[in-house]
Chain A
Amino acid sequence: MEEKKPLRHLIEIRDLTVAEIDSLIALAGDIIARPDDFADTCKRKKLATLFYEPSTRTRLSFEAAMLELGGQILGFASQDSSSASKGESVADTIRVVEGYADIIAMRHPKEGAPVLAAQYASVPMINAGDGGHNHPTQTLTDLTTIQREFGTLEGLTIGLCGDLKFGRTVHSLIAAMVRYPGTHFVLISPQELRPPVYILDSLARETNCKCTESRSLDAVIDSLDVLYMTRVQRERFFNEADYVRLKDSFILDTDKMRGAKQDMIVMHPLPRVNEISVAVDKDYRSRYFEQAKYGKYIRMALILELLGLRQ
């Protein structure tokens, strides 16, 4: 009798080893090269997308990923269109949905909601973003982009710019990249939007990597291999006045790009508001739309991995 594989979830990026991340990126590369080979790998499998918060890229890329693997999708796109609006708990929702789907991707505005969901789920659970906390599948997308651009994830200088406090993609990207030797993080943010203490602690513990902070993008842009811009997360502020004061802290425009290396790339998890001027889209170093495309392929790889369907 075949031994049943242990149930695996992806709640935070540290749930995957470096070798597993590298292997997923390689599998995404195989899917990009030979999509037809994977067309029916998830036949008769269903993905539930439970999105308590709005999303364009993450939800649609998850759904496109499952459809391209030959599977089916179900779910909801907002809290208002689910029983959460009637007061149903996350724990109860998961115990119901796991009866309808083989794998679940959940986005929730509260931090740690996927940790709770995983305690109740008997099918693989994927964190598709929890408040300002973590966003591990965006990180897989980011790592895929960097790997395909530079051919390595080691020894790179990565500038993280904008809202580093509530920017969940930044938190997950740091947690992933600290494990690649020689990474130099340059944290560029206003004082009020520095990363949370637990992130700074994790950086201080690492001997593999280096971290510096700057309040000015101009002062450091010439040293960067990757500039990762982020939006100031309006929905995480309790006070609108604070948001208004901080929202235009860093705007990347063509003037600033003149100071960057010729082979630097600009990334952004999107959506952007105004932190990257539209004129920068035409710069040959901008990669954010390619980055969004890779999101579908790496999520295909992840679904195959968590369902134990890798060929």
Chain B
Amino acid sequence: MKIDEIHNGYVLDHIRAGRSMEIYRALGLDSLDCTVAIIKNVPSRKLGKKDIIKIDEDIVLDLAALGYIDPNITINVIKDGLLVEKQHLKPPAVLVNVVKCKNPRCITSTEQEIDQIFRLSHSGGKDVYRCAYCEMQAGTQ
């Protein structure tokens, strides 16, 4: 399989296999005119299998969304066809309008145009995100 090299943009590497479409949607890549390649289930020594996304445009990446979906992603920054920087993510302290609170009792379910804010917390030794309003864990109700 041959995918052209990109000139100015990003290669998102080490995406956990199966998460690339979620990232595609979270970053709004469907609205871009440039070349976007999604490569799924690439053999990986570290992960067994991984996904890769290539974006041939210098867009503003939502690092909080990326860090929330998969903090192990490596961001390779490409300029004039050359790798100029490798960025490693960490779980962001705060998420704003990345995920929605699913608690039907939360004020975010009724108040107009309120920011959906989640803060990093810990549960059973794991990183979790809790709604800044009702404290419900992201993804639960």
Task: List A residues at the B interface (Cβ < 8 Å).
Answer: 89-91, 108-113, 115-116, 130-133, 196-198, 201, 204-205, 236, 238
Contact = CB atoms under 8 A, between A and B. Distances in A.
Given A91-B111, A116-B111, A197-B137, A111 B124 contact: no
A111 B111 CA distance: 11
A112 B136 CA distance: 10
How many B residues are at the interface, by size bracket?
Answer: 20 to 34
Contacts of B131: 112
Secondary structure at the B interface, as helix, strand, loop or mixed, is loop
5 contacts: A110-B106, A111-B135, A112-B108, A130-B107, A236-B105
Given A111-B105, A111-B133, A112-B134, A198 B121 contact: yes
Contacts of A112: 106-108, 131-135
B112 to A, nearest CB: 6
B111 to A, nearest CB: 6
Interface in B113-133: 114, 121-124, 130-133
Interface of B: 103-112, 114, 121-124, 130-137, 140
A204 B124 CA distance: 9
A201 to B, nearest CB: 5
Contacts of B136: 111, 196, 198
B86 to A, nearest CB: 35
Contacts of A204: 124
Contact of B109 (A89, A90, A110, A196): A110
Contacts of B105: 109-111, 131-133, 236
